Amino acid sequence: MGFNLNLLLIIPMMTLAGILITKDSGKARVVAAIGMSVQLLLVMWLWVAFAAERNSGNEAEVLFLQDYIWFKSLNIHYAIGVDGISVGMIVLTGVIIFTGVFASWTLKELPKEFFMWLILLSTGVFGFFISLDMFTLFLFFEIAVIPMYLLIGIWGTGRKEYAAMKLTLMLMGASAILIVGILGIYFNSSPDGNWTFNILEISKTTIPLEAQMYFFPFIFIGFGVISALFPFHTWSPDGHASAPTAVSMLHAGVLMKLGGYGILKVGIYLLPEAATAMADFFLLFVGIGVIYGALSAVMQNDLKYINAYSSVSHVGLILFGLLMLTKTALTGAVLQMISHGLITALFFGLIGMIYSRTHTRIVGEMRGLLKVMPFLSAAYVIAGLASLGLPGFSGFVAEITIFIGAFVHVETYYRVFTVIAVASIVVAAVYILRVIGKMLMGELKDETYKQLTDASWHEKVVVVTLILCITAIGMAPFALTELIRSSLEPIMMRF
């Protein structure tokens, strides 16, 4: 069963064109919904096609390969293909952008332009996950990041200009660091001067250890910044707090995962000796970030800031799993990318829905919402339980896999950071249960809240879709874990 990966870029671009020629701004959301519904069906077809190829005995490292020369003189190619890891990330992106469109259904300010920039951002993400050429990967990385400035600066709330500028400057700085690392790999990809950006071709060679040690930090930090690597995480809470709902969903659900994916497929895969040698050093910063994010979330009163700092902690677990460099921990790290993407998108979606009714995100200003918004309140409880790792949800599967993979290391240094990482889950229970108790339980804080309505049809589409995905992974994770583990074999063989 074949699949043309270019369709993953063609459908969003056709949707963009459809929105552009739509004269009625109100119909832009309909065009966006149709386009992203088709895209969701397409990514599901990709999963089925990939599984069918594997079941038929195709053990190639990457499937559905296509390769076109862009710049022959520099050996830059438009090379695309997918393995199990990228298929999982593409499906995640399809789900998040689909629900993000419905979460923005009632947007009134420049809806046409909003949906255009949102879908352009998702196009960059899809391109990033299918790229096998580092130059093309970097190009799509920038396409995914740049629209964030406008989406936050124009449609955001609060200190939106400050948040948009801070986010952009931090990520552009990270891009400058990243391009140094990519060029370093490129110029060391071949001893005879036949340099290449192709990840598969570079993986068949051995980059000199001195070059690996020099350029691995550029790759790790460059990608790590977008994953809120401590101490470069400060842009993330401000960006989340000011971003509109759909942008927060896409930002935390998918964009922050570009970093972990890039570290795995470029840093660890192509520079394995440096990754092994420097894991201890970077684990210090990752470990601090995991517990710092959890403790900071406890101190917040704004719902978005609580979830933003929670994301710093939970995305830190992804980097933690990657630095363990065991097959089980790497499997858990990829599972955590997908699980956290779904859970945090659900959280930010619900926060946006609650804010649109109560006009506040301060926990102390709300109480008793369960009485007037039972559907949204029950969904918030489910999201909270999934986030703190309750068995039966995706969060438990991902986190326990990371911790089991981490405990393979018997050295005290690794064990200490593993205990710290486990402790962050306990702290997560504190801030999640505190919010649920204060915001949802008890008598209504304000009599005017009696007039509040529960979820509308388009909001239920968002909530039900994400909860079904979170529950499906939690109850039956084996198909996804097998997809990931088989694709980790080429990486593990590099060690």
115: pLDDT strictly greater than 70: yes
Amino acid (one-letter) located at 68: Y
At 232, give phi and psi (nearest 5°): -100, 25
Sorting pLDDT into bands at 50, 70 and 90, what band is 362? confident
pTM above 0.85, yes or no: yes
Sorting pLDDT into bands at 50, 70 and 90, what band is 364? confident
> What integer best gives the mean pLDDT of the chain?
88
CA 474 from centroid of its chain's CA atoms: 18
Summarize the confidence of residues 126-140 as an average pLDDT: 93
For every residue of 66-130, DSSP letters joined together read: EEEEEEGGGTEEEEEEE-HHHHHHHHHHHHHHHHHHHHTTT--SSHHHHHHHHHHHHHHHHHHHH
pLDDT at residue number 59: 83
452 vs 196 pLDDT, higher one:
196
pLDDT at residue number 372: 86
| pLDDT tens for each residue of 225-283 | 888 888 888 888 888 778 888 888 888 888 888 999 999 999 999 999 999 999 999 99
Measured over the CA atoms of residue 285, residue 291, residue 294 and residue 296, the dihedral's sign is negative
pLDDT at residue number 446: 67
pLDDT at residue number 371: 85
| pLDDT tens for each residue of 367-385 | 888 888 889 999 999 999 9
1: pLDDT strictly greater than 70: no
CA-nearest of 159, 345, 132 to 256 is 345
Summarize the confidence of residues 278-300 as an average pLDDT: 90
53: pLDDT strictly greater than 80: yes
pLDDT at residue number 426: 87
| pLDDT tens for each residue of 452-492 | 888 788 889 999 999 999 999 999 888 888 888 888 988 88
| pLDDT tens for each residue of 160-185 | 888 888 888 888 888 999 999 999 99
